[in-house]
């Protein structure tokens, strides 16, 4: 699909921005007009009298059946095929009543509106509908269409779209959610049935037509701000625990003066109730992770006490290794307790593990420096937890075997995530692996833990090899690769 810049290459940036703001905010216009809206721009020309027009935008109403089954953006028509579009563009006036022919819709009626930007017509917005398929409009529909004509006049005068980005969100009210029309003094002229229901939800049960909202007990900060600033304003109104309504006020401007306002209302009570429920669940999950972390720290402390009473050095070492493994798992739960997300930034876990090793195993007599680079992205807890234990074992092995004698050295931890798998590479400049070492057959407890976690829990692979060169301290390289499902790559971490 061609972009607006491609369809109208001769338009200045300010004109393009104006048209883009119109297309971002014209949903209410389609709804109150009960018709499809199309945006026509001169087709790739910079001449004052274009020979053809391209459709650069299209929106269907939610209040009526669309007459266009296909997406028409990019279609080009000559000025003879769209004479009313041509008149609106050349003469700068709203034109109504013409019929145009499509292959599948031969009797479409159109109303064309010149889009004015800083005194210059830069495009034409067309309202297109089939009069043969529309029912006879009632009083409410006629009021809506009169409102559309007022907003169409704003477009022709350059007052709409507003000069700020008034981007609609998923919670923004639509015409079908509820509509009120205010006059220049802020009195309610029209209230749709859904708007009346939304007012009832926040405690306003009296008839509001002919009265100001403030007179019936509704604080109208957004309405006052919209009238004063001549810009759209949005506000949430909550009535205790009974309901929440979002109110969006669009000022209506004619001949440079605010002549009224279009107020859209939506009852979002159920959405806010679900938000509160999710927040409560998130808080509960975070609290569970916090308690798990505290319980693991308690177990760690108990093991430390037991280790101090152990007589054999081998028993003390085994208990201390168990403490570090428990603390590696606790680090994951600590990070999960800070955020309701089920994913954790693994680089934070790595930095915490490095600090734990530095505090417990390095010192003036063992000056080992650690550097972290790359980023493994955010990993699910069921991946991050065993991978943290694996990395802890790798760092423990480095401190136990790579530097048997002073001086120490440097250990590099490199992380990578390409979206398909995570790779963790630990490289030291120590004495290297003993002759004949094979990670698949090594019988040490730490190696067995790493091997089982990587292959069974993470379904990944691990390799251990000596570094390049034949120096006495050639170092060891440990590479762990873990397959992922739908993980997003990260490339922004700085070396630590």
Identify whether residues 141 and 10 lie together within a single domain.
yes
Higher pLDDT, 59 or 435: 59
- pLDDT tens digits for 47-92? 567 888 999 999 999 888 888 888 899 899 888 888 899 999 999 9
Asked if 93 and 156 touch (Cβ cutoff 8 Å), the reply is yes
pLDDT value at residue 55: 93
* Confidence tier at 495 by pLDDT (50, 70, 90): very low
Identify whether residues 286 and 318 lie together within a single domain.
yes
Owning domain of residue 210: 175-267
- pLDDT tens digits for 178-218? 999 999 998 999 999 888 888 887 777 778 888 888 887 77
* Confidence tier at 153 by pLDDT (50, 70, 90): very high
Residue 149 has pLDDT above 70, yes or no: yes
* Confidence tier at 167 by pLDDT (50, 70, 90): low
User: What is the rounded average pLDDT for all residues in the chain?
Assistant: 83
Mean local confidence (pLDDT), 264-278: 78
pLDDT value at residue 496: 40
pLDDT value at residue 121: 93
Higher pLDDT, 415 or 168: 415
How many separate domains does the chain show? Answer: 4
The CATH number that applies at residue 85 is: 3.30.450.280
Identify whether residues 187 and 101 lie together within a single domain.
no
Identify whether residues 493 and 356 lie together within a single domain.
yes
- pLDDT tens digits for 396-420? 888 888 887 777 788 999 999 988 8
On whether residue 385 sits in a domain, the answer given is yes
pTM across the whole model: 0.59
Residue 293 has pLDDT above 80, yes or no: no
On whether residue 419 sits in a domain, the answer given is yes
Mean local confidence (pLDDT), 219-237: 87
pLDDT value at residue 1: 64
Identify whether residues 94 and 185 lie together within a single domain.
no
Percent of the chain with pLDDT over 90: 29
The CATH number that applies at residue 183 is: 3.30.450.20
Compute how many other C-beta atoms are within 10 angstroms of the C-beta atom of residue 199: 27
* Confidence tier at 291 by pLDDT (50, 70, 90): confident
Identify whether residues 111 and 185 lie together within a single domain.
no
């Amino acid at each position: 699909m061609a972009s607006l810049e491609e369809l109208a290459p001769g338009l200045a940036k300010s004109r393009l921005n104006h048209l883009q703001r119109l297309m971002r905010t014209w949903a209410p216009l389609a709804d109150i007009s009960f018709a499809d809206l199309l945006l026509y721009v001169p087709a790739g020309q910079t001449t004052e009298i274009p020979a053809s027009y391209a459709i650069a935008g299209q929106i269907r109403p939610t209040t009526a059946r669309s007459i266009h089954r296909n997406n028409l953006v990019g279609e080009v028509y000559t000025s003879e095929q769209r004479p009313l579009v041509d008149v609106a563009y050349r003469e700068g006036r709203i034109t109504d009543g013409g019929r145009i022919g499509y292959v599948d819709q031969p009797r479409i009626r159109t109303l064309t509106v010149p889009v004015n930007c800083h005194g210059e017509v830069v495009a034409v917005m067309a309202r297109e509908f089939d009069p043969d398929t529309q029912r006879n409009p009632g009083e409410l529909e006629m009021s809506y269409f009169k409102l559309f004509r007022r907003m169409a006049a704003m477009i022709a005068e350059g007052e709409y779209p507003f000069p700020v980005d008034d981007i609609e969100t998923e919670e923004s009210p639509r015409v079908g959610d509820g509509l009120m029309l205010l006059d220049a003094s802020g009195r309610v002229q029209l209230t749709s049935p859904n708007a009346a229901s939304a007012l009832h939800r926040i405690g306003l049960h009296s008839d509001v037509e002919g009265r100001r909202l403030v007179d019936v007990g509704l604080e109208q900060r957004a309405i006052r701000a919209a009238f004063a600033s001549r810009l759209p304003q949005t506000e949430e109104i909550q009535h205790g625990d009974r309901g929440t309504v979002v109110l969006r006020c669009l000022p209506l401007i004619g001949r440079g003066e605010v002549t009224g306002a279009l107020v859209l209302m939506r009852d979002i009570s159920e959405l806010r109730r679900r938000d509160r429920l999710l927040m409560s669940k998130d808080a509960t999950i975070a609290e569970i992770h916090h308690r798990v972390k505290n319980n693991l720290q308690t177990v760690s402390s108990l093991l430390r006490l037991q280790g101090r009473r152990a007589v054999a050095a081998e028993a003390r070492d085994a208990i201390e290794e168990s403490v570090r493994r428990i603390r590696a798992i606790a680090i994951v739960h600590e990070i999960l307790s800070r955020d309701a997300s089920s994913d954790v930034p693994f680089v934070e876990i790595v930095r915490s593990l490095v600090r734990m090793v530095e505090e417990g195993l390095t010192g003036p007599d063992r000056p080992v420096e650690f550097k972290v680079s790359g980023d493994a992205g955010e990993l699910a807890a069921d991946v991050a937890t065993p991978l943290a234990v694996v990395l802890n074992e790798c760092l423990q092995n480095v401190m136990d075997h790579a530097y048997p004698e002073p001086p120490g050295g440097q250990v590099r931890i490199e992380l990578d995530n390409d979206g398909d798998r995570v790779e963790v590479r630990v490289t030291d400049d120590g004495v290297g692996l003993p002759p004949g070492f094979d990670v698949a057959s090594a019988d040490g407890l730490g190696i067995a833990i790493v091997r089982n976690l990587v292959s069974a829990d993470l379904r990944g692979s691990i390799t251990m090899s000596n570094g390049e060169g034949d120096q006495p301290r050639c170092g060891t390289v440990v590479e762990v690769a873990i397959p992922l499902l739908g993980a997003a790559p990260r490339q922004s971490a700085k070396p630590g």
